[in-house]
């Protein structure tokens, strides 16, 4: 493994050292890391996140990152002339959220995030409207320690672009059973069922996509949608940005 290990992996090394009483060499061999890396995390006593003093890093933006990222991602579906400028984002933060930082801070952050998201290189798309009552759903993957083992788990996220709300339910897999049970739980959490829900062409719902764009849905998913009376809407193949709001929420949930 190269670079810094994920937090779950760091904690697993500490678990093997303190609970399983394994040697540094045993840990390094089991996880396929160097002896130096295994020792670093096995003997670590300070788990505070290191924050090197990077030039141009502005803590005041932390509380607004999610909202700004949402605007930038959704801008990918708009014509270039209708996208947010840094000045427009600053004005909205001040008027809608009481932002107390400077215009320069916002300009720096927006330029940095546009570069990272490669927004300027994205293809033009038709603008997608998401009125109240519409939602987006997507799976995300994360690692956790369960029963002393480092395992991979899935989280199903249901987000509402109109209100910027989101709900998360953890599942062991992405199969049909987990998918439908996850949606049911998310409806309970959010207090209702959306009129329309945007999905990827995930195998738990879609059997195949024809050359004409028509989708053959699984019987289980069709019955589920009929029971809860929502209209499923599917993104074009390989065009996950059409549901950029929920993808942003998946990343936020994973980081937090």
End-to-end CA distance of the chain: 23
CATH entry, 134-244, from 3.30.420.10, 3.40.50.720, 2.60.120.10, 3.40.50.300: 3.30.420.10
Over pLDDT 90: what percentage of the chain?
23
Greater confidence (155 vs 254) lies with 155
pTM, full prediction = 0.51
Choose the weakest-confidence range: 31-35, 124-128, 163-167. Answer: 124-128
Question: pLDDT tens, 191-226?
Answer: 999 999 999 888 888 888 877 778 888 889 988 998
- Beta strands (DSSP E) in 45-148 are 134-146
- What is the C-alpha separation between 182 and 179, in angstroms, rounded? 5
Query: What is the CA 47 to chain-centroid distance, rounded?
Result: 24
Extract the runs of DSSP E, i.e. beta strands, from the chain.
134-146, 149-160, 165-171, 196-199, 206-209, 215-217, 231-234
Tens digit of each residue's pLDDT (9 = 90 or more) over 103-116: 999 998 888 888 87
Give the pLDDT of residue 58.
61
User: What is the C-alpha separation between 231 and 226, in angstroms, rounded?
Assistant: 8
Q: How far is CA 147 from CA 8, 86, 202, in A?
A: 13, 47, 30
Average pLDDT, the chain: 82
Neighbouring CB atoms inside 10 A of 121's CB total 8
Question: Greater confidence, 4 or 143?
Answer: 143
Asked if pLDDT for residue 18 goes beyond 90, the answer is no
Alpha carbon distance 72, 104 (integer Å): 17
The pLDDT > 70 percentage for the chain reads 84
Mean pLDDT value of segment 138-165: 88
- Domain boundaries of the chain, sorted by first residue: 7-42, 59-121, 134-244
pLDDT at 117: 73
Highest mean pLDDT among 28-32, 40-44, 143-147, 184-188: 184-188
């Amino acid at each position: 493994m190269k670079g810094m290990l994920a937090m779950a992996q760091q904690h697993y090394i500490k678990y093997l050292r303190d609970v399983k009483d394994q040697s540094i060499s045993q840990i390094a061999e089991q996880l396929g890391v160097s002896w130096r890396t295994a020792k670093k995390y096995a003997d670590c006593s300070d788990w505070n996140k290191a924050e090197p003093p990077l030039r141009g890093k502005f803590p005041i933006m932390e509380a607004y990152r999610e909202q700004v990222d949402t605007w930038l991602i959704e801008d990918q579906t708009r014509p270039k002339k209708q996208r947010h400028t840094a000045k427009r984002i600053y004005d909205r933060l001040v008027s809608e959220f009481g932002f107390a930082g400077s215009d320069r801070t916002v300009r720096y952050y927006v330029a940095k995030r546009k570069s990272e998201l490669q927004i300027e290189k994205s293809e033009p798309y038709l603008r997608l409207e998401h009125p109240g009552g519409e939602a987006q759903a997507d799976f995300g993957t994360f690692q956790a320690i369960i029963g002393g083992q480092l395992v991979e788990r899935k989280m199903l996220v249901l987000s509402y672009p109109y209100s910027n709300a989101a709900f998360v339910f953890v599942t062991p897999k992405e199969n049909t059973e987990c998918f439908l049970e996850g949606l049911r739980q998310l409806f309970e959490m959010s207090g209702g069922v959306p009129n329309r829900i945007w999905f990827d062409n995930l195998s738990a719902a879609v059997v195949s996509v024809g050359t004409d764009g028509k989708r053959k849905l699984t019987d289980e998913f069709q019955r589920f949608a009929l029971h809860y009376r929502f209209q499923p809407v599917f993104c074009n193949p390989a065009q996950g940005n059409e549901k950029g709001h929920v993808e942003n929420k998946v990343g936020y949930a994973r980081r937090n």
